[in-house]
Structure 1
Amino acid sequence: MQSHEIKEIAVIGSGTMGSQIAMVCALGGYNVILNDIEEGSLHAAHVALKKQMNRRVEKGRLTEQQVNDAFANIRYSSDLKDLSQTDFVIEAIVEKLEAKRDLFGKLDVVTPQHAILATNSSTITSSKLADATKRPEKVCNVHFFNPALVMELVEVVKGPHTSNETAQAAMEVMKSIQKTPVLLKKEISGFIANRILGKLMDEAVYLLENGYATHQEIDLVCKKALNHPIGPFALMDLTGIDVNYFVRQQRFQETGDERDRPARIVQEKVEKGELGRKSGKGFYTYSEPAVKA
Protein backbone atom coordinates (compact mmCIF):
# COMPACT_ATOMS: atom_id res chain seq x y z
CA MET A 1 0.00 0.00 0.00
CA GLN A 2 1.28 3.46 -0.90
CA SER A 3 1.35 6.15 1.79
CA HIS A 4 -0.77 8.53 -0.30
CA GLU A 5 -3.57 5.95 -0.25
CA ILE A 6 -3.77 6.04 3.55
CA LYS A 7 -6.75 8.15 4.59
CA GLU A 8 -7.83 6.69 7.94
CA ILE A 9 -5.62 5.72 10.87
CA ALA A 10 -6.83 3.76 13.89
CA VAL A 11 -5.03 3.90 17.23
CA ILE A 12 -5.82 1.08 19.66
CA GLY A 13 -5.45 2.01 23.33
CA SER A 14 -6.46 5.42 24.67
CA GLY A 15 -3.85 5.81 27.39
CA THR A 16 -1.35 8.66 27.43
CA MET A 17 0.63 7.32 24.48
CA GLY A 18 -2.29 6.14 22.34
CA SER A 19 -4.35 9.30 22.78
CA GLN A 20 -1.41 11.54 21.90
CA ILE A 21 -0.54 9.45 18.84
CA ALA A 22 -4.16 9.83 17.75
CA MET A 23 -3.97 13.60 18.13
CA VAL A 24 -0.68 13.81 16.23
CA CYS A 25 -2.28 11.91 13.34
CA ALA A 26 -5.40 14.11 13.49
CA LEU A 27 -3.26 17.26 13.41
CA GLY A 28 -1.61 15.75 10.33
CA GLY A 29 -4.97 15.75 8.57
CA TYR A 30 -5.87 12.06 8.81
CA ASN A 31 -9.25 10.73 9.82
CA VAL A 32 -8.55 8.98 13.11
CA ILE A 33 -10.37 6.36 15.19
CA LEU A 34 -9.21 6.16 18.80
CA ASN A 35 -10.31 2.77 20.07
CA ASP A 36 -10.38 1.35 23.59
CA ILE A 37 -12.36 -1.42 25.26
CA GLU A 38 -13.23 0.97 28.12
CA GLU A 39 -15.59 3.88 27.42
CA GLY A 40 -14.31 5.61 30.56
CA SER A 41 -10.77 5.59 29.20
CA LEU A 42 -11.94 7.16 25.94
CA HIS A 43 -13.71 9.93 27.84
CA ALA A 44 -10.63 10.53 30.01
CA ALA A 45 -8.45 10.68 26.89
CA HIS A 46 -10.74 13.28 25.31
CA VAL A 47 -10.64 15.44 28.45
CA ALA A 48 -6.84 15.20 28.68
CA LEU A 49 -6.39 16.06 25.00
CA LYS A 50 -8.66 19.10 25.39
CA LYS A 51 -6.46 20.41 28.20
CA GLN A 52 -3.25 19.74 26.30
CA MET A 53 -4.51 21.38 23.12
CA ASN A 54 -5.86 24.41 24.98
CA ARG A 55 -2.42 24.94 26.50
CA ARG A 56 -0.85 24.83 23.06
CA VAL A 57 -3.31 27.43 21.80
CA GLU A 58 -2.60 29.64 24.82
CA LYS A 59 1.14 29.41 24.15
CA GLY A 60 0.67 30.20 20.46
CA ARG A 61 1.95 26.84 19.25
CA LEU A 62 -1.33 26.03 17.49
CA THR A 63 -4.30 28.09 16.37
CA GLU A 64 -7.79 27.45 17.67
CA GLN A 65 -8.81 26.49 14.14
CA GLN A 66 -6.06 23.86 13.90
CA VAL A 67 -7.18 22.34 17.17
CA ASN A 68 -10.86 22.36 16.21
CA ASP A 69 -10.03 20.75 12.87
CA ALA A 70 -7.96 18.06 14.60
CA PHE A 71 -10.73 17.16 17.04
CA ALA A 72 -13.16 17.04 14.11
CA ASN A 73 -10.90 14.37 12.59
CA ILE A 74 -11.11 12.07 15.65
CA ARG A 75 -13.80 9.50 16.36
CA TYR A 76 -13.91 7.55 19.62
CA SER A 77 -14.88 3.89 19.54
CA SER A 78 -15.04 0.86 21.82
CA ASP A 79 -15.94 -1.52 18.97
CA LEU A 80 -13.24 -2.95 16.69
CA LYS A 81 -15.86 -3.41 13.98
CA ASP A 82 -15.63 0.35 13.42
CA LEU A 83 -12.23 -0.25 11.82
CA SER A 84 -13.71 -1.70 8.64
CA GLN A 85 -12.41 1.22 6.53
CA THR A 86 -9.10 1.75 8.29
CA ASP A 87 -5.89 1.86 6.24
CA PHE A 88 -3.27 1.96 9.00
CA VAL A 89 -3.49 0.68 12.58
CA ILE A 90 -1.18 1.67 15.43
CA GLU A 91 -1.54 -0.58 18.50
CA ALA A 92 -0.67 1.05 21.84
CA ILE A 93 -2.09 -1.32 24.47
CA VAL A 94 -0.42 -2.94 27.50
CA GLU A 95 3.05 -4.43 26.99
CA LYS A 96 1.91 -8.04 27.22
CA LEU A 97 2.58 -10.39 24.33
CA GLU A 98 -0.56 -12.51 24.57
CA ALA A 99 -2.80 -9.42 24.74
CA LYS A 100 -1.15 -8.04 21.62
CA ARG A 101 -1.34 -11.35 19.74
CA ASP A 102 -5.02 -11.65 20.58
CA LEU A 103 -5.63 -8.10 19.35
CA PHE A 104 -3.69 -8.57 16.10
CA GLY A 105 -5.71 -11.69 15.35
CA LYS A 106 -8.90 -9.67 15.75
CA LEU A 107 -7.53 -6.76 13.72
CA ASP A 108 -6.73 -9.15 10.88
CA VAL A 109 -10.43 -10.03 10.70
CA VAL A 110 -12.04 -6.60 11.06
CA THR A 111 -9.70 -4.40 9.00
CA PRO A 112 -9.40 -4.34 5.19
CA GLN A 113 -6.76 -6.68 3.80
CA HIS A 114 -4.72 -3.73 2.53
CA ALA A 115 -4.40 -2.20 6.01
CA ILE A 116 -0.99 -1.99 7.68
CA LEU A 117 -0.94 -3.30 11.25
CA ALA A 118 1.74 -1.63 13.38
CA THR A 119 2.64 -1.96 17.03
CA ASN A 120 4.00 0.96 19.05
CA SER A 121 5.92 -1.47 21.28
CA SER A 122 9.67 -1.04 21.65
CA THR A 123 10.08 -4.39 23.39
CA ILE A 124 7.79 -6.80 21.57
CA THR A 125 9.04 -7.02 18.01
CA SER A 126 6.49 -7.42 15.26
CA SER A 127 7.78 -10.90 14.34
CA LYS A 128 6.11 -12.09 17.56
CA LEU A 129 2.77 -10.75 16.28
CA ALA A 130 2.89 -11.23 12.52
CA ASP A 131 1.87 -14.90 12.54
CA ALA A 132 -1.29 -14.01 14.46
CA THR A 133 -2.42 -12.51 11.14
CA LYS A 134 -2.72 -13.64 7.53
CA ARG A 135 -0.83 -10.56 6.34
CA PRO A 136 2.64 -10.77 7.95
CA GLU A 137 4.10 -8.62 5.18
CA LYS A 138 1.95 -5.72 6.42
CA VAL A 139 3.02 -5.94 10.08
CA CYS A 140 5.76 -3.76 11.57
CA ASN A 141 6.81 -1.71 14.61
CA VAL A 142 6.19 2.04 14.63
CA HIS A 143 7.62 3.25 17.92
CA PHE A 144 6.72 6.75 19.14
CA PHE A 145 8.36 8.31 22.18
CA ASN A 146 6.59 9.74 25.21
CA PRO A 147 5.11 12.35 25.09
CA ALA A 148 4.14 11.69 21.50
CA LEU A 149 2.84 15.23 21.00
CA VAL A 150 6.30 16.60 21.74
CA MET A 151 8.92 14.03 20.78
CA GLU A 152 9.90 14.19 17.12
CA LEU A 153 11.58 10.84 16.59
CA VAL A 154 9.79 7.64 15.56
CA GLU A 155 11.55 4.29 15.09
CA VAL A 156 10.10 2.24 12.22
CA VAL A 157 11.31 -1.35 12.40
CA LYS A 158 11.25 -3.78 9.50
CA GLY A 159 10.91 -7.39 10.61
CA PRO A 160 12.01 -10.30 8.42
CA HIS A 161 8.35 -10.67 7.41
CA THR A 162 7.74 -6.96 6.67
CA SER A 163 7.62 -5.93 3.01
CA ASN A 164 9.67 -3.01 1.75
CA GLU A 165 6.43 -1.37 0.63
CA THR A 166 5.01 -1.52 4.17
CA ALA A 167 8.17 -0.11 5.74
CA GLN A 168 8.33 2.74 3.25
CA ALA A 169 4.63 3.54 3.63
CA ALA A 170 5.08 3.72 7.41
CA MET A 171 8.08 6.02 6.98
CA GLU A 172 6.12 8.33 4.69
CA VAL A 173 3.13 8.48 7.03
CA MET A 174 5.45 9.46 9.91
CA LYS A 175 6.95 12.24 7.79
CA SER A 176 3.46 13.45 6.86
CA ILE A 177 2.59 13.96 10.55
CA GLN A 178 5.77 16.00 11.05
CA LYS A 179 7.80 13.29 12.75
CA THR A 180 11.41 12.33 12.05
CA PRO A 181 11.42 8.59 11.34
CA VAL A 182 14.43 6.29 11.45
CA LEU A 183 14.20 2.91 9.71
CA LEU A 184 15.78 -0.12 11.39
CA LYS A 185 16.53 -2.64 8.66
CA LYS A 186 16.19 -5.59 11.04
CA GLU A 187 14.69 -6.31 14.44
CA ILE A 188 16.33 -6.07 17.83
CA SER A 189 14.44 -5.76 21.12
CA GLY A 190 14.53 -2.21 22.45
CA PHE A 191 15.56 -0.83 19.05
CA ILE A 192 18.08 2.03 19.26
CA ALA A 193 17.04 4.65 21.80
CA ASN A 194 15.74 2.32 24.50
CA ARG A 195 18.71 -0.03 24.29
CA ILE A 196 20.98 2.91 25.02
CA LEU A 197 18.60 4.36 27.62
CA GLY A 198 18.17 0.94 29.25
CA LYS A 199 21.86 0.76 30.11
CA LEU A 200 21.62 4.16 31.79
CA MET A 201 18.46 3.14 33.68
CA ASP A 202 20.09 -0.07 34.91
CA GLU A 203 23.08 1.80 36.26
CA ALA A 204 20.91 4.47 37.88
CA VAL A 205 18.85 1.81 39.69
CA TYR A 206 22.02 -0.01 40.76
CA LEU A 207 23.44 3.18 42.27
CA LEU A 208 20.18 3.86 44.10
CA GLU A 209 19.63 0.33 45.42
CA ASN A 210 23.19 0.13 46.71
CA GLY A 211 23.01 3.44 48.53
CA TYR A 212 25.50 5.45 46.50
CA ALA A 213 23.11 8.37 46.06
CA THR A 214 19.41 9.28 46.21
CA HIS A 215 17.20 9.19 43.15
CA GLN A 216 17.03 13.01 43.26
CA GLU A 217 20.83 13.26 43.22
CA ILE A 218 21.19 10.76 40.38
CA ASP A 219 18.62 12.68 38.33
CA LEU A 220 20.45 15.93 39.09
CA VAL A 221 23.77 14.50 37.89
CA CYS A 222 22.22 13.32 34.62
CA LYS A 223 20.71 16.75 34.02
CA LYS A 224 23.66 18.92 35.05
CA ALA A 225 26.62 16.76 34.04
CA LEU A 226 25.22 14.88 31.05
CA ASN A 227 22.86 17.65 29.90
CA HIS A 228 19.85 15.32 29.81
CA PRO A 229 16.54 17.21 29.87
CA ILE A 230 15.15 14.82 32.49
CA GLY A 231 16.74 12.33 34.89
CA PRO A 232 16.17 8.55 34.65
CA PHE A 233 13.86 8.34 37.68
CA ALA A 234 11.75 11.32 36.64
CA LEU A 235 11.57 9.76 33.17
CA MET A 236 10.43 6.45 34.63
CA ASP A 237 7.69 8.33 36.49
CA LEU A 238 6.67 10.05 33.26
CA THR A 239 6.45 6.91 31.13
CA GLY A 240 5.04 4.73 33.92
CA ILE A 241 7.00 2.52 36.31
CA ASP A 242 4.70 -0.36 35.37
CA VAL A 243 5.82 0.01 31.75
CA ASN A 244 9.43 -0.49 32.84
CA TYR A 245 8.32 -3.50 34.87
CA PHE A 246 6.43 -5.16 31.99
CA VAL A 247 9.29 -4.49 29.59
CA ARG A 248 11.80 -6.16 31.89
CA GLN A 249 9.44 -9.06 32.58
CA GLN A 250 9.07 -9.65 28.85
CA ARG A 251 12.82 -9.52 28.32
CA PHE A 252 13.46 -11.94 31.21
CA GLN A 253 10.91 -14.39 29.80
CA GLU A 254 12.76 -14.26 26.48
CA THR A 255 16.32 -14.60 27.79
CA GLY A 256 16.03 -16.32 31.19
CA ASP A 257 18.92 -14.06 32.24
CA GLU A 258 18.55 -12.96 35.88
CA ARG A 259 20.07 -9.61 34.94
CA ASP A 260 16.99 -8.93 32.82
CA ARG A 261 14.54 -9.28 35.70
CA PRO A 262 12.77 -6.09 36.85
CA ALA A 263 14.77 -4.33 39.55
CA ARG A 264 13.64 -4.97 43.12
CA ILE A 265 12.74 -1.33 43.70
CA VAL A 266 10.71 -1.23 40.48
CA GLN A 267 8.77 -4.35 41.46
CA GLU A 268 8.06 -2.88 44.90
CA LYS A 269 6.72 0.34 43.35
CA VAL A 270 4.40 -1.61 41.06
CA GLU A 271 3.12 -3.76 43.92
CA LYS A 272 2.33 -0.60 45.91
CA GLY A 273 0.55 1.00 42.95
CA GLU A 274 3.16 3.77 42.84
CA LEU A 275 3.34 3.95 39.05
CA GLY A 276 4.55 7.52 38.55
CA ARG A 277 2.71 10.59 37.35
CA LYS A 278 -0.42 8.68 36.35
CA SER A 279 -0.97 7.44 39.91
CA GLY A 280 0.22 10.61 41.66
CA LYS A 281 3.30 8.95 43.14
CA GLY A 282 6.34 7.08 41.90
CA PHE A 283 9.89 7.98 42.76
CA TYR A 284 8.46 11.49 43.19
CA THR A 285 5.10 12.69 44.52
CA TYR A 286 2.81 14.76 42.28
CA SER A 287 0.11 17.22 43.25
CA GLU A 288 -2.51 15.41 41.16
CA PRO A 289 -2.52 12.14 39.21
CA ALA A 290 -2.35 12.34 35.44
CA VAL A 291 -5.05 10.82 33.26
CA LYS A 292 -4.97 7.02 33.39
CA ALA A 293 -2.39 5.67 30.97
Structure 2
Amino acid sequence: MAEPEIENIKNILVVGAGAMGSQIGLVCAMAGYAVAVQDISSEMLEKAQKQLAGRMDRNVEKERMTRQEADEALARLTFTTDLEDAAKDADFVIEAAVEKLDIKRELFRKLDEITPDHTILATNSSTIESSRVADATDRPDRVCNMHFFNPALVMKCVEVVRNPGTSDATIEATVALTEKINKSPVLLNREIPGFVANRILHALANEAISLYENDVASFKDIDTACRTALGHPMGPFELMDLTGIDIAHDVRMVKYERSGDENDRPKRSIVERYERGDLGRKTGKGWYTYDEAGKRVSP
Protein backbone atom coordinates (compact mmCIF):
# COMPACT_ATOMS: atom_id res chain seq x y z
CA MET A 1 0.00 0.00 0.00
CA ALA A 2 1.43 3.37 -1.06
CA GLU A 3 2.28 5.88 1.66
CA PRO A 4 0.07 9.01 1.88
CA GLU A 5 1.35 11.97 -0.14
CA ILE A 6 0.00 15.50 -0.39
CA GLU A 7 0.01 15.29 -4.21
CA ASN A 8 -2.57 12.52 -4.06
CA ILE A 9 -5.06 14.49 -1.96
CA LYS A 10 -7.74 15.83 -4.28
CA ASN A 11 -11.06 15.07 -2.59
CA ILE A 12 -11.79 15.91 1.05
CA LEU A 13 -14.69 14.68 3.16
CA VAL A 14 -15.77 16.62 6.25
CA VAL A 15 -18.07 14.66 8.56
CA GLY A 16 -20.30 16.98 10.58
CA ALA A 17 -22.01 20.14 9.30
CA GLY A 18 -22.01 22.17 12.50
CA ALA A 19 -20.31 25.56 12.69
CA MET A 20 -16.85 23.98 12.87
CA GLY A 21 -17.31 21.27 10.25
CA SER A 22 -19.01 23.51 7.70
CA GLN A 23 -16.33 26.19 8.02
CA ILE A 24 -13.55 23.60 7.68
CA GLY A 25 -15.26 22.47 4.50
CA LEU A 26 -15.31 26.00 3.10
CA VAL A 27 -11.67 26.58 4.08
CA CYS A 28 -10.69 23.52 2.04
CA ALA A 29 -12.92 24.50 -0.89
CA MET A 30 -11.43 28.01 -0.95
CA ALA A 31 -8.00 26.37 -1.27
CA GLY A 32 -9.13 24.54 -4.41
CA TYR A 33 -10.16 21.13 -3.06
CA ALA A 34 -13.34 19.28 -3.97
CA VAL A 35 -15.14 18.95 -0.63
CA ALA A 36 -18.11 16.91 0.53
CA VAL A 37 -19.73 17.94 3.81
CA GLN A 38 -21.74 15.09 5.30
CA ASP A 39 -24.18 15.10 8.18
CA ILE A 40 -27.01 12.83 9.32
CA SER A 41 -29.31 15.90 9.52
CA SER A 42 -30.58 17.40 6.27
CA GLU A 43 -31.73 20.42 8.28
CA MET A 44 -28.19 20.97 9.55
CA LEU A 45 -26.84 20.70 6.00
CA GLU A 46 -29.34 23.25 4.69
CA LYS A 47 -28.45 25.64 7.51
CA ALA A 48 -24.72 25.20 6.84
CA GLN A 49 -25.13 25.79 3.12
CA LYS A 50 -27.09 28.99 3.71
CA GLN A 51 -24.63 30.30 6.32
CA LEU A 52 -21.59 29.62 4.15
CA ALA A 53 -23.18 31.32 1.14
CA GLY A 54 -23.92 34.32 3.36
CA ARG A 55 -20.32 34.46 4.55
CA MET A 56 -19.06 34.44 0.98
CA ASP A 57 -21.50 37.21 0.05
CA ARG A 58 -20.07 39.33 2.85
CA ASN A 59 -16.52 38.58 1.69
CA VAL A 60 -17.43 39.84 -1.77
CA GLU A 61 -19.15 42.94 -0.35
CA LYS A 62 -16.03 43.74 1.69
CA GLU A 63 -13.85 43.12 -1.38
CA ARG A 64 -11.93 40.29 0.25
CA MET A 65 -12.53 38.24 -2.90
CA THR A 66 -14.25 38.55 -6.26
CA ARG A 67 -17.72 37.21 -7.01
CA GLN A 68 -16.14 34.67 -9.33
CA GLU A 69 -13.77 33.41 -6.63
CA ALA A 70 -16.64 33.06 -4.18
CA ASP A 71 -18.85 31.22 -6.66
CA GLU A 72 -16.04 28.86 -7.67
CA ALA A 73 -15.30 27.99 -4.02
CA LEU A 74 -18.98 27.31 -3.28
CA ALA A 75 -19.23 25.19 -6.44
CA ARG A 76 -16.50 22.91 -5.07
CA LEU A 77 -18.70 22.16 -2.03
CA THR A 78 -21.34 19.45 -1.92
CA PHE A 79 -23.67 18.65 0.98
CA THR A 80 -25.06 15.19 1.63
CA THR A 81 -26.53 12.83 4.21
CA ASP A 82 -25.09 9.82 2.34
CA LEU A 83 -21.84 8.94 4.12
CA GLU A 84 -20.99 5.96 1.92
CA ASP A 85 -21.34 7.92 -1.31
CA ALA A 86 -19.37 10.87 0.08
CA ALA A 87 -16.57 8.64 1.35
CA LYS A 88 -16.00 6.41 -1.65
CA ASP A 89 -13.65 8.86 -3.41
CA ALA A 90 -12.28 10.71 -0.37
CA ASP A 91 -8.50 11.02 -0.11
CA PHE A 92 -8.65 12.75 3.27
CA VAL A 93 -11.37 12.75 5.93
CA ILE A 94 -11.76 15.37 8.65
CA GLU A 95 -14.22 14.20 11.31
CA ALA A 96 -16.00 17.03 13.14
CA ALA A 97 -18.89 15.13 14.70
CA VAL A 98 -20.18 15.18 18.27
CA GLU A 99 -17.61 14.80 21.07
CA LYS A 100 -18.73 11.33 22.16
CA LEU A 101 -16.13 8.56 22.08
CA ASP A 102 -18.54 5.72 21.26
CA ILE A 103 -19.98 7.66 18.31
CA LYS A 104 -16.52 8.54 17.01
CA ARG A 105 -15.31 4.95 17.29
CA GLU A 106 -18.26 3.66 15.33
CA LEU A 107 -17.81 6.38 12.74
CA PHE A 108 -14.11 5.60 12.28
CA ARG A 109 -14.89 1.90 12.02
CA LYS A 110 -17.34 2.64 9.23
CA LEU A 111 -15.05 5.13 7.50
CA ASP A 112 -12.31 2.50 7.51
CA GLU A 113 -14.64 0.16 5.62
CA ILE A 114 -15.94 2.60 3.01
CA THR A 115 -12.99 4.88 2.18
CA PRO A 116 -10.14 3.89 -0.17
CA ASP A 117 -7.16 2.18 1.45
CA HIS A 118 -4.93 5.24 1.01
CA THR A 119 -7.29 7.65 2.79
CA ILE A 120 -6.11 9.48 5.90
CA LEU A 121 -8.70 9.66 8.69
CA ALA A 122 -8.28 12.73 10.90
CA THR A 123 -10.37 13.86 13.86
CA ASN A 124 -10.86 17.53 14.64
CA SER A 125 -11.33 16.70 18.34
CA SER A 126 -9.21 18.45 20.94
CA THR A 127 -10.48 16.28 23.80
CA ILE A 128 -10.40 12.79 22.27
CA GLU A 129 -6.95 11.72 21.13
CA SER A 130 -6.78 9.82 17.85
CA SER A 131 -5.30 6.74 19.53
CA ARG A 132 -8.72 6.23 21.14
CA VAL A 133 -10.35 5.79 17.72
CA ALA A 134 -7.44 4.45 15.67
CA ASP A 135 -7.83 0.88 16.96
CA ALA A 136 -11.39 0.84 15.61
CA THR A 137 -9.80 0.82 12.14
CA ASP A 138 -7.42 -1.42 10.20
CA ARG A 139 -5.28 1.61 9.33
CA PRO A 140 -4.05 3.08 12.64
CA ASP A 141 -0.98 4.41 10.81
CA ARG A 142 -3.29 6.74 8.84
CA VAL A 143 -5.18 8.20 11.79
CA CYS A 144 -4.31 11.48 13.56
CA ASN A 145 -5.78 14.62 15.09
CA MET A 146 -6.15 17.69 12.90
CA HIS A 147 -7.51 20.27 15.31
CA PHE A 148 -8.90 23.53 13.93
CA PHE A 149 -9.89 26.53 16.06
CA ASN A 150 -13.20 28.36 16.10
CA PRO A 151 -14.02 30.19 13.86
CA ALA A 152 -12.17 27.98 11.40
CA LEU A 153 -12.50 30.52 8.57
CA VAL A 154 -10.53 33.07 10.60
CA MET A 155 -8.19 31.25 12.98
CA LYS A 156 -4.86 30.30 11.42
CA CYS A 157 -3.68 27.64 13.86
CA VAL A 158 -4.22 23.92 13.23
CA GLU A 159 -2.74 21.42 15.70
CA VAL A 160 -1.57 18.21 14.04
CA VAL A 161 -1.11 15.45 16.61
CA ARG A 162 0.40 12.04 16.02
CA ASN A 163 -0.56 9.03 18.08
CA PRO A 164 1.91 6.21 18.78
CA GLY A 165 0.84 4.37 15.62
CA THR A 166 0.68 7.31 13.20
CA SER A 167 3.16 7.03 10.34
CA ASP A 168 5.60 9.77 9.42
CA ALA A 169 4.05 9.89 5.94
CA THR A 170 0.60 10.57 7.41
CA ILE A 171 1.94 13.40 9.54
CA GLU A 172 3.88 14.89 6.63
CA ALA A 173 0.81 14.80 4.38
CA THR A 174 -1.42 16.31 7.09
CA VAL A 175 1.04 19.13 7.81
CA ALA A 176 1.36 19.79 4.08
CA LEU A 177 -2.43 19.87 3.69
CA THR A 178 -2.65 22.34 6.58
CA GLU A 179 -0.27 24.63 4.73
CA LYS A 180 -2.12 24.13 1.41
CA ILE A 181 -5.35 25.42 2.98
CA ASN A 182 -3.49 28.51 4.21
CA LYS A 183 -3.32 27.55 7.88
CA SER A 184 -0.35 27.43 10.26
CA PRO A 185 0.42 23.89 11.49
CA VAL A 186 1.55 23.22 15.06
CA LEU A 187 2.97 19.69 15.26
CA LEU A 188 2.68 17.69 18.47
CA ASN A 189 5.01 14.70 18.54
CA ARG A 190 2.95 12.93 21.19
CA GLU A 191 -0.56 13.00 22.55
CA ILE A 192 -1.41 15.04 25.61
CA PRO A 193 -4.96 15.94 26.76
CA GLY A 194 -6.00 19.37 25.47
CA PHE A 195 -2.93 19.61 23.20
CA VAL A 196 -1.07 22.95 23.35
CA ALA A 197 -3.35 25.94 22.84
CA ASN A 198 -6.34 24.63 24.79
CA ARG A 199 -4.22 23.60 27.79
CA ILE A 200 -3.06 27.20 28.05
CA LEU A 201 -6.55 28.54 27.31
CA HIS A 202 -8.27 26.25 29.83
CA ALA A 203 -5.82 27.26 32.55
CA LEU A 204 -6.66 30.91 31.86
CA ALA A 205 -10.43 30.24 31.79
CA ASN A 206 -10.25 28.20 34.99
CA GLU A 207 -8.52 31.04 36.83
CA ALA A 208 -10.95 33.58 35.37
CA ILE A 209 -13.96 31.59 36.61
CA SER A 210 -12.37 31.21 40.06
CA LEU A 211 -11.88 34.97 40.27
CA TYR A 212 -15.54 35.47 39.31
CA GLU A 213 -16.92 32.83 41.69
CA ASN A 214 -14.87 34.25 44.55
CA ASP A 215 -16.36 37.69 43.85
CA VAL A 216 -13.02 39.26 43.04
CA ALA A 217 -14.41 40.90 39.89
CA SER A 218 -17.35 40.61 37.52
CA PHE A 219 -16.98 38.43 34.45
CA LYS A 220 -17.33 41.56 32.30
CA ASP A 221 -14.42 43.26 34.08
CA ILE A 222 -12.29 40.12 33.86
CA ASP A 223 -12.92 40.06 30.11
CA THR A 224 -11.96 43.74 29.95
CA ALA A 225 -8.70 43.03 31.80
CA CYS A 226 -7.76 40.26 29.39
CA ARG A 227 -8.46 42.47 26.39
CA THR A 228 -6.92 45.71 27.62
CA ALA A 229 -4.02 44.41 29.73
CA LEU A 230 -3.09 41.15 28.02
CA GLY A 231 -3.99 42.11 24.46
CA HIS A 232 -6.38 39.20 23.91
CA PRO A 233 -8.93 39.74 21.11
CA MET A 234 -11.68 38.69 23.51
CA GLY A 235 -11.92 37.75 27.18
CA PRO A 236 -12.38 34.16 28.44
CA PHE A 237 -16.10 34.60 29.12
CA GLU A 238 -16.70 36.12 25.70
CA LEU A 239 -14.78 33.23 24.18
CA MET A 240 -16.82 30.65 26.11
CA ASP A 241 -19.98 32.22 24.72
CA LEU A 242 -18.55 32.04 21.21
CA THR A 243 -17.43 28.41 21.33
CA GLY A 244 -20.33 27.22 23.51
CA ILE A 245 -20.65 26.74 27.25
CA ASP A 246 -21.67 23.14 26.55
CA ILE A 247 -18.22 22.62 25.02
CA ALA A 248 -16.56 24.10 28.13
CA HIS A 249 -18.71 21.81 30.30
CA ASP A 250 -18.06 18.66 28.24
CA VAL A 251 -14.32 19.24 28.03
CA ARG A 252 -14.07 19.46 31.81
CA MET A 253 -16.27 16.36 32.22
CA VAL A 254 -14.04 14.36 29.89
CA LYS A 255 -11.01 15.47 31.90
CA TYR A 256 -12.73 14.57 35.20
CA GLU A 257 -13.87 11.16 33.94
CA ARG A 258 -10.31 10.33 32.97
CA SER A 259 -8.58 11.71 36.07
CA GLY A 260 -11.17 11.18 38.81
CA ASP A 261 -9.91 14.46 40.31
CA GLU A 262 -12.78 16.56 41.68
CA ASN A 263 -10.81 19.69 40.76
CA ASP A 264 -11.25 18.74 37.10
CA ARG A 265 -15.06 18.93 37.26
CA PRO A 266 -16.75 21.91 35.53
CA LYS A 267 -17.01 24.97 37.78
CA ARG A 268 -20.34 25.68 39.48
CA SER A 269 -21.19 28.68 37.28
CA ILE A 270 -20.58 26.60 34.15
CA VAL A 271 -22.80 23.76 35.40
CA GLU A 272 -25.59 26.21 36.24
CA ARG A 273 -25.63 27.70 32.75
CA TYR A 274 -25.27 24.30 31.11
CA GLU A 275 -28.27 22.90 33.02
CA ARG A 276 -30.37 25.98 32.16
CA GLY A 277 -29.48 25.63 28.49
CA ASP A 278 -27.76 29.04 28.46
CA LEU A 279 -24.96 27.93 26.16
CA GLY A 280 -23.76 31.20 24.66
CA ARG A 281 -24.37 32.88 21.33
CA LYS A 282 -26.09 29.85 19.79
CA THR A 283 -28.88 29.95 22.39
CA GLY A 284 -29.02 33.73 22.76
CA LYS A 285 -27.69 33.71 26.30
CA GLY A 286 -24.60 32.55 28.15
CA TRP A 287 -22.47 34.89 30.17
CA TYR A 288 -23.85 37.66 27.99
CA THR A 289 -27.16 38.05 26.13
CA TYR A 290 -27.41 38.14 22.31
CA ASP A 291 -29.97 39.09 19.69
CA GLU A 292 -31.08 36.79 16.86
CA ALA A 293 -28.15 37.92 14.71
CA GLY A 294 -25.70 36.92 17.45
CA LYS A 295 -24.89 40.52 18.41
CA ARG A 296 -24.32 41.11 22.11
CA VAL A 297 -27.02 43.20 23.73
CA SER A 298 -26.15 42.94 27.45
CA PRO A 299 -24.71 43.44 29.95
Q: So what's the TM-score if we normalise by structure 2?
A: 0.95
Matched, 1:19 2:54: no
Partner residue of 1:176 out of 164, 180, 190: 180
User: Which residue number in structure 2 is paired with residue 148 of structure 1?
Assistant: 152
CA distance in 2, matches of 1:280, 1:63: 33
SS of the residue corresponding to residue 129 of structure 1 reads helix
Correspondence for 2:170 among 166, 171, 185: 166
Q: Could you say which residue in structure 2 is the equivalent of 1:276?
A: 280
Q: Percent identity?
A: 54
Q: Give aligned pairs, total.
A: 290
Shift of 1:194: 0.5
How do 1:29-68 residues align onto structure 2 when only pairs under 5 Å count? 29-68=32-71
Deviation per residue, 1:161-212 (Å, 9 max, x gap): 1000000000001111111111111111111100111100000111111111
Equivalence map 1:86-235=2 (5 Å): 86-235=90-239
Distance 2:105 2:293 in 1: 31
1:117 alignment partner, SS class? strand
Q: Which moved more, 1:168-177 or 1:96-105?
A: 96-105
CA distance in 1, matches of 2:40, 2:293: 22
Q: Which AA in structure 1 matches 2:25?
A: A
RMSD value over aligned CA atoms? 0.9
- In the TM superposition, residue 100 of structure 1 has moved relative to its aligned partner by 1.0
- Find 2:248's aligned residue among 244, 250, 260: 244
Name whichever of 195-204 and 256-265 sits farther off.
256-265
8 Å Cα contact 1:35/1:79 also seen in 2: yes
Q: Residue 29 of structure 2: SS of its match in structure 1?
A: helix
In 2, are the aligned partners of 1:140 and 1:159 still within 8 Å (CA)?
yes
Given the superposition, is the C-alpha separation of residues 15 and 289 from structure 1 closer, same or farther in structure 2, using an over 3 Å criterion?
Answer: farther
Displacement of 1:289 = 5.8
- Residue 96 of structure 1 deviates from its aligned partner by 1.5
Q: 1:84 is aligned with what amino acid?
A: K
What CA distance in whole angstroms lies between the structure 2 residues aligned with 1:248 and 1:100? 19
Question: In 1, Cα distance between the equivalents of 2:65 and 2:99?
Answer: 32
Q: Which has the higher contact order (CA 8 A, sep 6+)?
A: 1
**Is contact 1:104-1:132 (8 Å) kept?**
yes
Partners of 1:143 and 1:134 in 2: CA distance:
22
Runs of 4+ in structure 1 deviating by more than 2 angstroms, as ranges, are none
Name the TM-score, length of structure 1 as normaliser.
0.97
What are the superposed Cα offsets for residues 72-114 of structure 1, whole Å, 9 maximum, x if unpaired?
1011011111111101000111111111111111111111111
